[in-house]
Structure 1
Amino acid sequence: MIESADVIVIGSGGLGAATAFHIAKRGALRVAMIERLEIGSQTSPRAAGMVSCLRKSDLMIDLIKLAAHKIRRFSDESGQPLDWVHSGSLKVARRPVDVEVIQEDILRGRRHGLDVEELSADAAHRLNPFLQPKGIGAVMRIGDDMYFNPAQLAVGFARAAEANGAVLLPNTAVTRVLIEDGQVAGVDTARGHIATPVIVDAAGAWTRQVAEASGIRIPLVTTAQQLFVTEPVHDARAELPMVRIMDAAVYMRPCDGGFLWGVYEENPKFFDMDGLGANFDVKDLPLDAEILWHYARDVEAQLPILLKAAVREHRGGLPTMTADGQHIVGPSPVVRGFYFASGCNVAGLSIAPALGEMLAAWIIDGAPPIDLAPLSIGRFGNGPWPDDELINKAAWQYRHFYGAR
């Protein structure tokens, strides 16, 4: 156990581990990463690992392009393994209203130099024969998209941080962030006190619990997300483009000779993490396979393989959602030295390499190299943020992640 650090990162998922790595790599500050369970063991390794480069804002496109570049260079930069495939993707509109969204997406993508084009349903089928053309109004191909093994990213960043001098403290629960005269002074943990002037709340599903234990509010909620990985499927090649069906919010990508697929359902379940108990582990999250089967039937005409392929793995995680579907990154406006890296909005792992680098620079240099003001917690005002209103807005963002109207 250490007595002090210049920066303490709470949480070892993708956002926390990436931040710890980039701080440690700079070599200017002593950094420690605290995790209540095993390092990189919670939601991050249970994600889909899909990188979608066509986002809803200019800032998010710039950040995800940087993240994709860093994923391609991950092993060179960190010295850790990361399996990734540059597959591209197919975004599918079944309704006329979503065909209009596709047209807008193409224009925005071209402004940013992305490899995007509209395809006929038959042309999309030729690229990925598991996508059937029936009932498809428009398809956009995004050539920049890729996927990676989610189990490797957070752990890889954590190991690389440790190799650069960071201290990792697994199985160490933070009970409180200590604040003196509006400034972070340290943390209390189940194993003792650590003095520090800077903490990063990257606690994932427990972000609110960490902040609120010290009287700091953050407007996000924790929801459940689940997916299937199928048994091997004949002709399911790794380079087949990923598929996203907009109105159903169903996604599918190749995975270990089969497919990984899931959905952002209409009525997601939200959790009060306090109600799950101090010893709760995401691996024990109760799952509901019927939710997945319901949406597989919805897209049967386009992706009949989802109902045909045997399931090898059923897993789920607990992402955090915000009212506007954007991350919360940067300093608290009420406590000096208290930073957030949260609000993953089911896309945090893929963008973590970029956000971790930005936040590390913010802490060390006083400002990030890219203006992250649109991701500041200050955009939500001073509150109050009633949970029922927050949940309603977060549920809408979850369901409409692919831009369906």
Structure 2
Amino acid sequence: MISKADVVVIGSGGLGAATAYYLAKRGGLTVALLDKHDIGSQTSPRAAGMVSCVRKGDLMITLMKDACRKIESFTEETEQPLDWVHSGSLKIARRPQDADVIAADLQRGKRMGLDVEEISPGAACHLNPFLKPAGVVAALRIGDDRYFDPAQVAVGFARGAQTKGAILLPRTNVTEIIIEAGKVTAVQTTGGQIRTPVVVDAAGAWTRQVAEASDISVPLVPTRQQLIVTEPLEGARSDLPMVRIMDAAVYIRPCQGGFLWGVYEEGPRFFDMKVLGPAFDVKDMPLDVEVLWRAAEEVKAQLLFLQTAKTREFRGGIPTMTADGHHILGPAPAVKGFFFASGCNVAGLSISPTFGEALAAWILNGQPPIDLSPMSPARFSNKNWSEEQLQRDAAWQYRHFYGAV
């Protein structure tokens, strides 16, 4: 155990590991990356690994374009493997009101320089024959989208950080951030105290626990996300475009000769990490496969193969949702030296390279490279959500990630 560091990053998922990497890359800093479990072992490797470039606002599209470039250069940058496929995707509307959303997505995407095109249902099914045209009223082809192996990102960034001098401390539980006169001075762990002026709370599902141990409030909700990886299927290819069905919030992508698929359900299950206890590991999260079978039934006219495809793997993670659907990135307004990298809103792993670099610059230079105020924790300063309202709004953001009306 070390006794001091220039920066302590708590949580070695995609956001935390990427931040540690870009801090260590700068050189001359002692960076410690802590995790209460093994490095990169919790929600990040259980994610879908899908990159969605057409987002609801210009800022997120700009950030996702940068994340795509960083995914392409990941191995060159970190000297760690990352398997990714530039497959493109198909965004599918089954209702007229969602077709209007696709029309707006098309205009926004074109304005932002994305490779987007509205195509006929028949053309969409030609691009991915596992998609059937029944009930499809509009389809958007997004050529920029891609997918990657989620198990490689956090571990890759962490190992890359280590090669640049960062200190990895797995199975090191943080019990408190020591704050004196409004400034971070140390991190108390089960292995001892580490003196530091800067801490990054990137603890994923445990973000609130880490912050609240030092009387810092952050409104986010740990939320169950489940997915299935099927056995290989005849005709399934790695270059088939991903499919997202808007109103059902169901997604599929090629995976290991079959497909990976999941759903952002209407009534997601939320977790209080304090209730789950200090020994809880995400791999032990209670799962409910009936959620996915109901979703498969809902989209059987478009994705009939989900009814019969055999399951190779059924897994789940615990992403964190916010009430407004934006990530939480940047300094806590009331405590100098305390930064957040959380509120992934089921899209944290894909954007982690860009957020990691931006937060490292924010820490080192005192400001982010671009205006990230929509993600700033300061936006919560004058708002007091009840837990009930927070969960209600977070559930809506979860279900409507694809922009369905």
Please, what TM-score do these two structures have when normalized by structure 2? 0.99
Aligned to 1:256: 256
Paired with 2:260 and 2:193, the residues of 1 have a C-alpha distance of 42
**Residue-by-residue CA offset, 1:337-386 (whole Å, 9 max, x unaligned):** 00000000000000000000000000111111111111101122334221
Counting only pairs closer than 5 Å after superposition, residues 392-403 of structure 1 correspond to structure 2 as 392-403=392-403
Paired with 1:261 and 1:10, the residues of 2 have a C-alpha distance of 30
Aligned to 1:233: 233
Aligned to 2:404: 404
Paired with 1:214 and 1:379, the residues of 2 have a C-alpha distance of 19
Paired with 2:383 and 2:372, the residues of 1 have a C-alpha distance of 21
**Residue-by-residue CA offset, 1:265-318 (whole Å, 9 max, x unaligned):** 000011110000100000000100000000100000000111111000000000
**Residue-by-residue CA offset, 1:108-141 (whole Å, 9 max, x unaligned):** 0000000000010100010000000000000000
Amino acid at match of 1:360: A
Greater shift, 248-257 or 359-368, is seen at: 359-368
Aligned to 1:77: 77
Counting only pairs closer than 5 Å after superposition, residues 149-164 of structure 1 correspond to structure 2 as 149-164=149-164
Aligned to 1:103: 103
| 1:213 positional shift | 0.1
Aligned to 2:336: 336
Amino acid at match of 1:95: R
Aligned to 1:193: 193
Aligned to 2:360: 360
Counting only pairs closer than 5 Å after superposition, residues 21-170 of structure 1 correspond to structure 2 as 21-170=21-170
Paired with 1:12 and 1:196, the residues of 2 have a C-alpha distance of 18
Counting only pairs closer than 5 Å after superposition, residues 248-287 of structure 1 correspond to structure 2 as 248-287=248-287
Q: Secondary structure at the match of 1:259?
A: strand
| 1:71 positional shift | 0.3
Runs of 5+ unmatched residues, structure 2: none
Ranges of 4+ aligned residues in structure 1 off by more than 4 Å = none
Paired with 1:340 and 1:382, the residues of 2 have a C-alpha distance of 18
Runs of 5+ unmatched residues, structure 1: none
Q: Secondary structure at the match of 1:364?
A: helix
Aligned to 1:13: 13
Aligned to 2:388: 388
Amino acid at match of 1:393: D
Paired with 2:28 and 2:140, the residues of 1 have a C-alpha distance of 45
Paired with 2:307 and 2:400, the residues of 1 have a C-alpha distance of 23
Paired with 1:187 and 1:385, the residues of 2 have a C-alpha distance of 28
Confirm or deny that 1:2 pairs with 2:2: yes
| 1:27 positional shift | 0.5
Amino acid at match of 2:19: T
Aligned to 2:172: 172
| 1:32 positional shift | 0.3
Aligned length: 405
Aligned to 2:292: 292
| 1:166 positional shift | 0.1
**Residue-by-residue CA offset, 1:141-186 (whole Å, 9 max, x unaligned):** 0000000000000000000000000000000000000000000001
Q: Secondary structure at the match of 1:114?
A: coil
Identity %: 67
Q: Secondary structure at the match of 2:162?
A: helix
Please, what TM-score do these two structures have when normalized by structure 1? 0.99
Paired with 2:13 and 2:262, the residues of 1 have a C-alpha distance of 21
**Residue-by-residue CA offset, 1:45-80 (whole Å, 9 max, x unaligned):** 000000001111111111111011000000000000
Q: Secondary structure at the match of 1:162?
A: helix
Paired with 1:337 and 1:11, the residues of 2 have a C-alpha distance of 17
